[in-house]
Amino acid sequence: MIGRVIRRRRRQASAGTLETLASQTSDLVSELLVQNRALRAENEALKRDVERLSAGWDEIKRLAKLAPRRKQARIPLTRKTR
């Protein structure tokens, strides 16, 4: 999205004043800060999900180790003959 804004602004009059350039830069920086905050919040939410799922997975592995197992008859491997 930022790239489109930059390309659009480059197409505008090249003879922009210093104030105009400063204003545009300020707008872009503000937009980046907003996006950065949103991404940080999303990362925190994802971290919490990973921690929750990791704990759940550990519990599944623990329960699987405790589960009773049936003894299965072993089928001997036979060699194929020609």
Give pLDDT, residue 73.
Answer: 66
**Domain coverage including residue 42:** 34-65
Alpha carbon distance 80, 78 (integer Å): 6
Q: Which two tokens stand for residue 16?
A: 């922009």
25 lies in a domain? Answer: no
User: Is residue 28 within 8 Å of 2, Cβ to Cβ?
Assistant: yes
24 lies in a domain? Answer: no
Q: At what angle do helices 18-66 and 2-11 cross, to 10 degrees?
A: 160
| Site of tokens 């919040």 | 41
Give pLDDT, residue 72.
Answer: 72
Give pLDDT, residue 68.
Answer: 87
Which of these, 6, 42, 3, 1, lies nearest to 24 by C-alpha position? 6
Give pLDDT, residue 16.
Answer: 72
Give pLDDT, residue 3.
Answer: 65
Q: Which residues of the chain have pLDDT under 50?
A: none
74 lies in a domain? Answer: no
Number of domains in the chain: 1
pTM of the model: 0.51
